[in-house]
Amino acid sequence: MDHFEIVDGELHAEQVPLSAIAREVGTPVYVYSRATLVRHAKVFREALSALPKVHIAFAVKSNPNLAVLRVLAREGYGADVVSEGEMNRALAAGIKPEDVVFSGVGKTRAELIAAVRAGIGQFNLESEEEGVELSEIAAALRTRATCTLRVNPDVDARTHAKISTGKAENKFGVAYDRASGIYARLSALPGLEMRGLAVHIGSQITDLEPSRQAFLKMGALMNALRVQGYTVSHMDLGGGLGVPYKAGDDLPTPADYGRMVSEVAQGWGVTLMFEPGRVITGNSGVLVTEVVRVKKGTGSPWVVVDAAMNDLARPAMYDAWHDFAAVRPGGETMTANIVGPICESSDTFALGREIDAVKAGDLAVFRTAGAYGATMANTYNSRPLVPEVMVDGERWAIVANRIEPATILAAEQVPDWLA
Ligand SMILES: Cc1ncc(COP(=O)(O)O)c(C=O)c1O
Ligand SMILES: N[C@@H](CCCC[NH3+])C(=O)O
């Protein structure tokens, strides 16, 4: 459930008509509902309430907007970060360093130093090499870094190949068969405190079975490590739970996921950690766009909108589906191709889709755009960086400005030798 509904013939975000936002901020613009974010955060936490010890770290990459992070900080969420930039955002939003988990396959030396200095709560190590480097850094700073070892369980998440992370051929984590040897060697290092294992097999997962298989493998590894005398007090099960992108999609709910985890992790005696991203933010946001013009074609007409693949990259990158809806639907429909203005054929949101009938100047939205939307935006074709708005009941605020091409141009210079 979200808070984007038609009231008096017009799509609203909570109690705010989207046309009011478009009038003042212009389009394209991302609009987030605070109430939906809060609801999703509570539903996910509630789904895990049968588990004894739980730590939830919001996957910042899915939506790193400072106001979004603040909402989740107020819900008691920690943060899962993958760069110094994300770490600084989480801290700026008021998330305590000890509630931050630092993931990522390529943390640089500078990032490791900054994170140790900041007192980050947990490093999810993705290789033995990273562990050795972090140990040196922590020891030099006269401390110990608390870590888990991310394991690649070689399980197919059955999601899009480009967002699958738990197969042996993916770059993430250490090979399952090598994990206990690496854990043993890392446990002996002076600058590390190894406290557990981490796993994350992919994103937009729509079937619980692969996660269950992966978690069972992690449980077996945990037992083997304990038999060898090692401590495993924390198990980070990652994120990845999918969300419905199409009206009518039937997916496992957070409650289904929670039940599966409770069954698998029965008797583990660990703090279970989770890194949800999309399931919290996906349906909390829409991308509002204006129809530039409707162009006749040889087949369906081309509905050219002012949002493009630089604003919402998912359709171009993963052939992802985002529902499209008119802000003031008139009841008629049309079959159309929806495209953006960018000079690439991949700048296509939908082909031959039945949509609300629209004409030039109409406002429309792409739904389920709160996750991996604005965060993946860029300025290709010298377009502005898309702004973001948050709605809270009757009030709303710009939470990220539109960054104009002139601002980006001002950061460039022509060297003397080209004058
Ligand atoms: C390590 C890690 N944790 C958490 C997430 C969040 O995933 P999702 O947004 O699918 O919940 C990701 C992204 O897939 C990730 O790579
Ligand atoms: N960017 C991807 C998700 C990647 C998840 C990163 N671990 C998407 O839009 O679906």
Structure tokens given for 87? 């770490």
pLDDT (0 to 100) of residue 297: 87
**Nearest CA owner, ligand 1 atom 13:** 203
Is residue 231 in a domain?
yes
Do 26 and 41 reside in the same domain of the chain? no
Domain end residue (candidates: 246, 280, 314):
280
Do 189 and 243 reside in the same domain of the chain? yes
Asked if pLDDT for residue 181 goes beyond 90, the answer is: yes
- pTM for the complete prediction? 0.97
pLDDT in tens, 5-17: 999 999 999 999 9
pLDDT (0 to 100) of residue 392: 98
Structural domain of 302: 4-32+282-409
Asked if pLDDT for residue 1 goes beyond 80, the answer is: no
Is residue 419 in a domain?
no
Do 290 and 272 reside in the same domain of the chain? no
pLDDT (0 to 100) of residue 315: 98
pLDDT (0 to 100) of residue 2: 77
Q: Is the CB of residue 170 less than 8 Å from the CB of residue 186?
A: no
Ligand 1: does its nearest atom lie under 6 Å from the Cβ of 40? no
pLDDT in tens, 331-375: 999 999 999 999 999 999 999 999 999 999 999 999 999 999 999
Do 394 and 299 reside in the same domain of the chain? yes
Asked if pLDDT for residue 151 goes beyond 70, the answer is: yes
pLDDT (0 to 100) of residue 410: 98
Across 277-300, average pLDDT: 97
Do 290 and 249 reside in the same domain of the chain? no
Ligand 2: does its nearest atom lie under 6 Å from the Cβ of 274? no
Is residue 400 in a domain?
yes
Q: What is the mean pLDDT of the chain?
A: 97
- Which of 148, 167, 203, when mutated, tests ligand 1's pocket best, judged by the most ligand atoms within 8 Å of its CB? 203
Asked if pLDDT for residue 146 goes beyond 70, the answer is: yes
Do 186 and 112 reside in the same domain of the chain? yes
Do 355 and 399 reside in the same domain of the chain? yes
Taking the CA of residue 242 as reference, the ligand 1 atom at the shortest distance is 10
Is residue 85 in a domain?
yes
Structure tokens given for 171? 């770059």
- Secondary structure class of 322 (helix, strand, coil): coil
pLDDT (0 to 100) of residue 76: 98
Does the annotation mark 147 as catalytic? no
Is residue 415 in a domain?
no
Is residue 240 a known part of a binding site? Answer: yes
Across 226-234, average pLDDT: 97
Ligand 2: does its nearest atom lie under 6 Å from the Cβ of 62? no
Structure tokens given for 389? 């708005």
Ligand 1: does its nearest atom lie under 6 Å from the Cβ of 203? yes
Is residue 314 a known part of a binding site? Answer: yes
Question: How many folded domains does the chain comprise?
Answer: 2
Domain end residue (candidates: 250, 280, 310):
280
Element (H, E) at 281: helix 278-281
Is residue 196 a known part of a binding site? Answer: no
DSSP string, 82-134: SSHHHHHHHHHTT--GGGEEE--TT--HHHHHHHHHHT-SEEEE--HHHHHHH
Is residue 226 in a domain?
yes
- Which of 30, 275, 372, 376, when mutated, tests ligand 2's pocket best, judged by the most ligand atoms within 8 Å of its CB? 372
Asked if pLDDT for residue 239 goes beyond 80, the answer is: yes
Across 82-111, average pLDDT: 98
**How many A from CA of 180 to the centre of ligand 1?**
24
Do 103 and 175 reside in the same domain of the chain? yes
Element (H, E) at 181: helix 179-187
Ligand 2: does its nearest atom lie under 6 Å from the Cβ of 201? no
Taking the CA of residue 313 as reference, the ligand 2 atom at the shortest distance is 9
Is residue 418 in a domain?
no
Q: Closest Cα partner for 324 from 81, 99, 74, 4?
A: 4
Domain end residue (candidates: 233, 259, 280):
280
What CATH number is associated with residue 308?
2.40.37.10
Is residue 184 in a domain?
yes
What CATH number is associated with residue 273?
3.20.20.10
Do 291 and 332 reside in the same domain of the chain? yes
Do 93 and 227 reside in the same domain of the chain? yes
Do 144 and 272 reside in the same domain of the chain? yes
Asked if pLDDT for residue 419 goes beyond 90, the answer is: no
Give the residue with greater pLDDT, 164 vs 37. 37
Ligand nearest to the CA of 105: 1
Express as a percent the part of the chain with pLDDT over 90. Answer: 95
pLDDT (0 to 100) of residue 299: 94
Element (H, E) at 19: helix 18-25
Ligand nearest to the CA of 242: 1
Active-site choice (110, 343, 411, 419) = 343
pLDDT (0 to 100) of residue 247: 86
Do 13 and 131 reside in the same domain of the chain? no
Across 241-265, average pLDDT: 96
Four-CA torsion 256, 259, 265, 267, nearest 10 degrees: 180
Assign 37 a pLDDT band (cuts: 50, 70, 90).
very high
